[in-house]
Amino acid sequence: MNKALSGLGLAMRAGKLLTGDEIVYKAIRSSEAKLVILAKDASMNTQKKFRDKCGTYKIPLLIGFDRESLGSSIGKPERVVLAVTDQGFAKLIMKHAGIMSEVEYIE
């Protein structure tokens, strides 16, 4: 498994990861989210919603991996959107994601 995904697993175990549309939205609005990760197979509508929201609140957005690998990296079923709430984990994941081929988009 690649390092960005194992970083997600670590963040999950440390309690620094949120999942689910509404919960992630709240985290973006409150600036609790330090990084939002969206599955590359999320619908165009969902991608646009999170791109706009993250852009407005200046939260880095990473679009990559698929629902299955996001879910399995945190020991849960398929996940479309995740928010990392710790700056250290966010940096670690972005550093590793920047060199990954599975990542389509980082803003």
pLDDT at 2: 85
Q: Which residues are bridge partners to 49 per DSSP?
A: none
Mean pLDDT of the chain: 92
Query: In this structure, is residue 102 part of a structural domain?
Result: no
Give the pLDDT band (50/70/90) at residue 98.
confident
What's the whole-model pTM score? 0.92
Query: In this structure, is residue 23 part of a structural domain?
Result: yes
pLDDT tens-digit map of 32-48: 999 999 999 999 999 99
Query: In this structure, is residue 106 part of a structural domain?
Result: no
Q: Are 67 and 80 in contact (CB under 8 A)?
A: yes
CATH of the domain at 43: 3.30.1330.30
Query: In this structure, is residue 103 part of a structural domain?
Result: no
Query: In this structure, is residue 13 part of a structural domain?
Result: yes
Phi, psi of 22 (to 5 degrees): -65, -45
> Which residues 6+ apart lie within 8 Å of 60 measured at CB?
34, 35, 36, 54, 90, 94, 106, 107
Range of the domain at 60: 1-95
Structurally, the chain folds into a number of domains equal to 1
pLDDT tens-digit map of 58-85: 999 999 999 999 999 999 999 999 999 9
Instruction: Compute the distance between CA of residue 72 and CA of residue 54 in angstroms, rounded to an integer.
Output: 24
